[in-house]
Structures are given as structure tokens and as C-alpha cells.
């Protein structure tokens, strides 16, 4: 089951504000109790939100607050990214900047650690995958991605892998200013760029290009979702 969150445009501003109040109250408890029922109960009490209303807005309790926490981070990242000057930056550096900003806006690393543990549980894995995909999608859209074929999926899938691995590294990083994490991020992006360079070389090699005829034809049949903010679902193919 999916739930609407504090930044979801489909719910009213009043409801978003109430979820935000619950989230703010919960954050001081998450490091000790995780995203759990006791945390949610404390958040309801301290925010003075009516329990019945809290249950309606967050039917899964603290799980829905964990989702809201992640999506709040995405929104803050986009706001920060909009103020950054990217003149002269290579595209790979723009990606690195966005991922770095996404992590730097986190005030409490323990809340992320607890969320990672929560979304690793089988019943919430789908939520976790969807959230990371949503972060990757937000970054690509903010950087002006206009792909409409299989590249829409591969770009987000690749960035999802880069972001996920960087988060796990960052959670255990105690280097000054998290410099080790940013170095790790750069290496992951360089690996991706090397693969893309190799793929381009194969495409331009007349001896190797026939090997990609079938995959290339299939890739051209795949189109991006009609709504750019959709989570990964069924791939749609063009009908000709």
C-alpha cells in the first residue's frame, strides 16, 4: 500500500503541515526508538495532533513518517540545487553535486541509518526502492533530463545504484567533512562514465556494432512513463 506524504501535491496544505508537525516531533525519538510505534505515539502526543487524525494521515504510523522524512530531504535538495551555479560544470559533476547536497542537508545521520534498517525489512522494501528511485528521478529532472526511451530508465537505474552505495558508505564515514564519501561518490560516477564510454566505442565500431542490433532495436521500443514523476512500473512499448 502506498501512502501520501507531506510534500504530495495531491493532499491539502493543512494535511501536509500536520504531517510535518508529526515528523518534527518524531525526529528527536528516532535515534533511540527508530521509526517505530513508540516514536509515532510520542510524536502524536508532543505535536498535540488528534490521534484519530494522525492515524488517518499516517495509517502506517512511523513508517509513513519515515517516507515523509526522505521526501522532505528530496525537496530540500531541490531547493538547494536551484541556488547553485553550475556554469562550467561537467554533467558528471552536476550529478555529484546533487547527490552530495542530498546528503549534506541531513541534520541527523542516525535518522537515515534507522530508515535504511526499516526499509530493508521485506514488507517495506518496495517503499525503500521507490524512495531511492524518486530521488534519482528528482535529480535527473532538476538537471533537465528529457529522455523518452529506455534511457529514461537506465539513467535513473544507474543513479539509483550510485546513490544507494554512496549512502551506505556515508553512514559509516567519520572522515572530516565526509571527504571520504565524496571521493567514493566520484569513483562510482567515474565507473559509470567509463562504461558509457565503452558502450559508445562499441556503437561506433563497425565490427562490434552488429552485436547490438537486437538490443538497440528493443531499446527503441521502450518509452518513458507518461508522467515523469511515476515510480518504475510496467515498461511501455511503442506500437508501429
- Residues 180-191: pLDDT tens digits? 999 999 999 998
Are 103 and 141 in a shared domain?
Answer: yes
Tally of domains in the chain: 2
Are 183 and 204 in a shared domain?
Answer: yes
d(CA 201, CA 211): 13
Are 78 and 94 in a shared domain?
Answer: no
Tell me the pLDDT band of 200, cut-offs 50, 70 and 90. low
Predicted pLDDT of residue 237: 36
| Nearest residue to 142 via CA among 189, 75, 52 | 75
Domain final residue pick, 33, 52, 83: 83
Domain final residue pick, 44, 65, 83: 83
d(CA 112, CA 70): 8
Are 198 and 117 in a shared domain?
Answer: yes
Are 113 and 169 in a shared domain?
Answer: yes
Q: C-alpha cell of 16? A: 501536509
Predicted pLDDT of residue 227: 52
Give the dihedral of Cα atoms 155, 76, 9, 160; nearest 10 deg. 20
Are 71 and 175 in a shared domain?
Answer: no
Residues 44 and 26: beta-carbon distance below 8 Å:
no
107-128 pLDDT per residue, tens = 999 999 999 999 999 999 999 9
Q: Which domain holds residue 238?
A: 85-240
Predicted pLDDT of residue 1: 35
Domain final residue pick, 61, 83, 105: 83
Q: Please give the helix or strand (H or E) that residue 236 lies within, else none.
A: strand 236-237
Amino acid at each position: 500500500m502506498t501512502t501520501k506524504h507531506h510534500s504530495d501535491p495531491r493532499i491539502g496544505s493543512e494535511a501536509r503541515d500536520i504531517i510535518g508537525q508529526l515528523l518534527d516531533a518524531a525526529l528527536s525519538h528516532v535515534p533511540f526508538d527508530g521509526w517505530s510505534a513508540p516514536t509515532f505515539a510520542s510524536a502524536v502526543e508532543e505535536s498535540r495532533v488528534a490521534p484519530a487524525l494522525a492515524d488517518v494521515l499516517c495509517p502506517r504510523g512511523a513508517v509513513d513518517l519515515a517516507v515523509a522524512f526522505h521526501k522532505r530531504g528530496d525537496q530540500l535538495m531541490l531547493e538547494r540545487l536551484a541556488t547553485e551555479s553550475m556554469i562550467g560544470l561537467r554533467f558528471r559533476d552536476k550529478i555529484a553535486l546533487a547527490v552530495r547536497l542530498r546528503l549534506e542537508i541531513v541534520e541527523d545521520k542516525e535518522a537515515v541509518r534507522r530508515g535504511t534498517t526499516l526499509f530493508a525489512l521485506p514488507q517495506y522494501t518496495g517503499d525503500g526502492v521507490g524512495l531511492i528511485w524518486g530521488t534519482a528521478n528528482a535529480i535527473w529532472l532538476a538537471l533537465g533530463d528529457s529522455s523518452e526511451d529506455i534511457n529514461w530508465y537506465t539513467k535513473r537505474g544507474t543513479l539509483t545504484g550510485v546513490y544507494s552505495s554512496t549512502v551506505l558508505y556515508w553512514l559509516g564515514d567519520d572522515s572530516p567533512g565526509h571527504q571520504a564519501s565524496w571521493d567514493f561518490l566520484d569513483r562510482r560516477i567515474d565507473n559509470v562514465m567509463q562504461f558509457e564510454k565503452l558502450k559508445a566505442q562499441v556503437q561506433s565500431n563497425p565490427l562490434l556494432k552488429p552485436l547490438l542490433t537486437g538490443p538497440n532495436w528493443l531499446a527503441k521500443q521502450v518509452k518513458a512513463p507518461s508522467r515523469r514523476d511515476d515510480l518504475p512500473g510496467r515498461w511501455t512499448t511503442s506500437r508501429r
